[in-house]
Each structure stands twice: as C-alpha cells, then as structure tokens.
C-alpha cells in the first residue's frame, strides 16, 4: 500500500540555521507529493508540491525535490526563522487510486531566536 | 483553489451526545474527504463522502459512529455519535479541486 515516513521530531534549530526534514514514501503507481504546514492553533496549509519525478517544489524559501530513485521528498530551507516554527507534514496522493491523501506522522520544528 | 467553510470551529461536548460538523465549499467538487487529527498525531482519513451514495469508510471507522451526508457537490456533514473522551480530536474536511487538495480550518472537539 501507499505510505509516507518522516523523520521524527521535535527538531530544534537556531534562527538562520539550515533545515532538512526527511521524507520517504512507498507508493504503487505514480504519486504526487506534498508538504503541508500547520502553524500553532491553525489549520493545515499547502506549502509546496511536486507532481512528477525530478520536479522541485518551492515556496517561502522552502524547497523539496521529487526523487524517484530514492523515493524521497526531503524538505529544505537555507535559513530558518522563528516564524517557521510549526508542524510539517509530508503527504502523497495517487489520483487514479481514489484520490486519498496519505500523510506522514508530522515533524515539529521549533526555531529559537 | 476552492474555499472551504467548516463549522463549528470548536466545541466542548458531554460524553454520550452527538455533534454534527458542516463543510461548505464555494465550488462544486467531486471528491470530499473527512479526516481526524488526534492530539499530537498526524491526520487519519475517516471516509470519502460520495455525492448521492453512501460514504466509503476507511478501516477502523464505521457508519454508525461517523455518519456522513453529502446531499450535493458543495456540502457535507460528519456526525460524531455517542461521543467519548477518546473522540477528542480535530476533525477536518478536505476537497480535491483542480488537482489541488484544500482543507477546512478544522473543528476542535473536546469531549468531557
């Protein structure tokens, strides 16, 4: 079946540090991949996405590249800010298999000034 | 992307009672889903709300506990029935629109 595995949190970084949150997936078919972010007390927001191999999604300084050979979609940011503190969810969807979005367990990021 | 209005945003309910959550979308959508996010955990799909037919439930979720209505392509409800403290969670509806996935702001339910 389809599944997503993320690195465990919480991740604590100092402001301006480099961020990597690992995400690997298992899927039958050709998934689209997503990163969602949930800020404290708020709903889920789409951060970025990639729909095919070697695509790079980017938004707000975050990037992730769809790597089919390693079945990965790691989230990176060169210089984090305190305002990036949130929970990040990696997810996949295979549209021709019912369109269900499958989430990883989430990784909490805490950025200290 | 589609805009979703979900209500109530939060509620505190007595055990044994039921709560109905509403999800209104500003566009007609074929696919609508209900998720649960238990405290400190990821999102788990409860069911797919099908317009004009019974919802499709995921393993571990049953219609008697989580009845769902989908009367048209812009609206759905999820009822959490006979609640217990273990049902305390955030419940979210979501839709697929133009191959994009949009979430409602969620309903934070506390059962006491």
Chain B positions in Cβ-Cβ contact with residue A55 (cut-off 8 Å): none
CB atoms within 10 A of CB B68: 24
Could you give the 3-state DSSP secondary structure of residue A83? helix
Region of poorest pLDDT, from B21-25, B41-45, B67-71:
B41-45
- Per-residue pLDDT tens digits for B47-65: 999 888 889 999 999 999 9
Question: pLDDT tens-digit profile of B75-99?
Answer: 999 999 999 999 999 999 999 877 6
Put residue B13 in one of left, alpha, beta given phi > 0 → left and psi -120 to 50 → alpha: beta
pLDDT per residue as tens digits for the range A4-25: 999 888 999 999 999 999 999 9
Residue A44 near chain B (CB below 8 Å): yes
- Identify from A21, A40, A48, A100 which residue to disrupt to test chain B contact, counting B C-beta atoms within 10 A and taking the largest count: A100
Range among A30-34, A37-41, A107-111 rated most confident: A107-111
Distances (CA, A) of B106 to B72, B89, B110: 21, 10, 13
Distance CA A93, CA A34 (A): 8
**What is the pLDDT, as a whole number, of residue A8?**
85
**Three-state SS for B82?**
coil
């Amino acid at each position: 079946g389809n599944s997503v595995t993320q690195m465990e949190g919480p991740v604590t970084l100092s402001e301006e540090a480099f961020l990597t949150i690992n995400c690997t997936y298992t899927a039958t078919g050709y998934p689209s991949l997503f990163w969602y972010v949930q800020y404290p007390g708020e709903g889920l927001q789409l951060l970025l996405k990639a729909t095919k191999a070697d695509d790079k999604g980017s938004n707000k300084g975050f990037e992730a590249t769809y790597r089919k050979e390693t079945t990965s979609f790691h989230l990176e940011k060169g210089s984090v800010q305190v305002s990036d503190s949130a929970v990040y969810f990696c997810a996949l969807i295979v549209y021709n298999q019912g369109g269900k979005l499958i989430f990883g367990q989430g990784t909490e990021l805490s950025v200290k000034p | 992307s589609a805009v979703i209005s979900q209500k109530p945003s939060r509620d505190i309910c007595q055990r044994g009672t039921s709560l109905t959550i509403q999800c209104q979308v500003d566009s007609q959508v074929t696919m609508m889903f209900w998720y649960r996010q238990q405290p400190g955990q990821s999102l788990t799909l409860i069911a797919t709300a099908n317009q004009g037919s019974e919802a499709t439930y995921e393993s571990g979720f049953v219609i008697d506990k989580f009845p769902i209505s989908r009367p048209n392509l812009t609206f759905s409800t999820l009822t959490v029935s006979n609640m217990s403290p273990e049902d305390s969670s955030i419940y979210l509806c979501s839709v697929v629109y133009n191959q994009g996935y949009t979430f409602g702001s969620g309903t934070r339910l506390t059962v006491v």
